[in-house]
Chains A and B, each alone.
Chain A
Amino acid sequence: MGMTITEKILAAHAKKKKVEPGELIIANIDIALGNDITAPLAIQEFESLGLKKVFNPGRICLVPDHFTPNKDIKSAEQVKILRDFAKKYKIKNYFEIGQMGVEHALLPEKGIVCPGDLIIGADSHTCTYGALGAFSTGVGSTDLASVMAIGKLWFKVPESIKFVYKGKLRKWVSGKDLILYTIGLIGVDGALYQSMEFTGPVIEKLSMDNRFSMANMAIEAGAKNGIFIPDDITLEYIKNRVQRPYKFYNSDKDAKYSKIHEIDVNNIEPQVAFPHLPENAKGVSKAGKISLDQVVIGSCTNGRMEDLRIAAKILKNRKVSSNLRLIVIPATQNIYMQAMKEGLIEIFINAGAAVSTPTCGPCLGGHMGILAKGEKALATTNRNFVGRMGSPESEVYLAGPAIAAASAILGRISSPEDLT
């Protein structure tokens, strides 16, 4: 019997010919990642081992992105732990503000993560790199510490669920809408412990930025990883970025899936996930009249070039509603620069938006746009849990950049079609 792409990557990294779902393996890790929240714990654990060096200083990435530029003294101390550790162990992939970006936008952009890799990160959205055809999953700080020491980690081979997207995408429907719709379909634990494999004619034509948004939210269905079969679109993306050998894997025709979902995209309209779970997704036409206090466009889900272009297209020559704050956060310095060259930043500022240096910031209620009690926000981020963006009595709605931009103009949840 054949293997899925996930099984093949895991088998190769465990130096085995074949693995099966449920099997426990010890596998070699290509890239390990930590941020300013999770790496300090991992570093503390690592230092307790008393080792002189890390397994491979070129394969560890430390990205201070959550509370940076340091929002207070405590955060500054956390980031300093990363900076000092990077110096001490000669870790070159430490990204200081001024060069940094939100980790899951930054690593692919820099060509650090490759197709066929086995990547772990002490951040749940590490599953984003599955867009490149890598096996990539979020782990805890202790896992990261152990990988920094020995370059290996234990895994249970997951079962795979296949999603086949067919039909023609409607106007304004993006990867974000497909993944919100899918999570709405299967629920926030619909893929618990399993792998989500995204396939079908719609996916084969989907751009890399859209694939990143989809893989990013696999964790929101409880999945261990989300993965795409690498193709020409992948190749085009990595061409001038990746510097080391990589491998394109594909699932066998007779690979085994625990379930196959066929999704007809013809009837999917832009989605909005209502508080307080990503599974509460509805078509925007069914959202009703919901006025908003804030809109955030950014994050590792939708802070990339294509997202900013869509938002700018809608915001051009229009103004943000006077009842609402719009915050736009390009996900990396490169994206920021490119958006400036294309005139997008000017469009945002003219519309009345606040544009920020790359940071996670409001996405996790860290800083740069916290909600007061009773306030409502719509964000292009990935989680709308209780208190995620500030007060436990505030609300977060999730959507793609088109809905976000239109809603910012009208002051309530709306579609670009509602604009005159």
Chain B
Amino acid sequence: MRITGKTWKYRDDVNTDEIIPARYLNTIDLNELAKHCMEDIDKDFIKKISKGDIIVAGKNFGCGSSREHAPLCIKASGISCVIAKSFARIFYRNAINTGLPILESPDAVSGIETGDNLTIDFLTGEIYNKRTDKTYKAKPFPPFMQEIISSGGLMGWVKKQ
């Protein structure tokens, strides 16, 4: 599967309170949550992004709470993928369980600026940056996680058990 999209770059340690502030968590309506996606780190985020855009961030993306609302609202906002230097553990788990594509690649992140156009191949983990004409390779998912993903996420895998 290949996608192409424009990037929005953020700093290290973007936390789940910035991705979806707790004051909006009295609902599980994803369209409602998506309206506030990334609000506390970039209040115009939802106005400026287009469907298929890509979030790029430094280390420890998604640190903080276990709220699955974070990957869910990023997905619902139309973002196609998050590339980071590293992910916080629970966010990583939640992204896989809910089917938000994420890639870990410190090199790619260092070479990307906001507005770059990327082409990503999820099967190989290859990230191509058009502006710099460079290709990076992200860590592929371990086989066990590929099994979860190919079952259509964790619930699909549970059904098989």
Decide: A38 and B66 in contact? CB cutoff 8 A: yes
CA distance A338 to B89 in the complex (A): 37
Residue in B26, B64, B94 whose CB lies within 8 Å of A142 = B94
Would you mind naming 8 contact pairs between A and B with Cβ atoms under 8 Å apart?
A: A71-B26, A78-B26, A121-B66, A139-B90, A145-B154, A150-B161, A222-B89, A392-B39
Query: What chain B residues lie within 8 Å of A364 (beta carbons)?
Result: 17, 22, 65
Digitize A250-289: 1 where CB-to-B-CB distance is under 8 Å, 0 elsewhere. 0000000000000000000000000001000000000000
Measuring CB to CB, which residues of chain B are less than 8 angstroms from any residue of chain A? 13, 15, 17-18, 21-23, 25-28, 39-41, 43, 59-60, 63-69, 72, 86, 88-90, 93-94, 97-98, 142, 144, 148, 153-155, 157-159, 161
Interface positions, chain A 23-63, Cβ under 8 Å from B, are: 24, 37-38, 40-41, 44-45, 48-49
CA distance A75 to B13 in the complex (A): 29
Digitize A59-86: 1 where CB-to-B-CB distance is under 8 Å, 0 elsewhere. 0000000110001101100100000000
Decide: B21 and A40 in contact? CB cutoff 8 A: no
Query: What chain A residues lie within 8 Å of B40 (beta carbons)?
Result: 386-387, 392
Decide: B22 and A141 in contact? CB cutoff 8 A: no
CA distance A231 to B60 in the complex (A): 34
**A149 contacts partner chain B, Cβ-Cβ < 8 Å:** yes
Using known A-B contacts A150-B161, A385-B18, determine if residue A143 contacts B97 with beta carbons closer than 8 Å: yes
Q: How far is the CB of B122 from chain A (nearest CB, A)?
A: 20
CA distance A224 to B144 in the complex (A): 19
Using known A-B contacts A41-B69, A386-B40, determine if residue A67 contacts B26 with beta carbons closer than 8 Å: yes
Decide: B88 and A74 in contact? CB cutoff 8 A: no
CA distance A21 to B21 in the complex (A): 34
Digitize A210-241: 1 where CB-to-B-CB distance is under 8 Å, 0 elsewhere. 00000000010010100000000000000000
Residue in B28, B39, B98, B144 whose CB lies within 8 Å of A140 = B98
Decide: B155 and A366 in contact? CB cutoff 8 A: no
Q: How far is the CB of B26 from chain A (nearest CB, A)?
A: 4
CA distance A387 to B38 in the complex (A): 12
Query: What chain B residues lie within 8 Å of A124 (beta carbons)?
Result: 64-66, 90
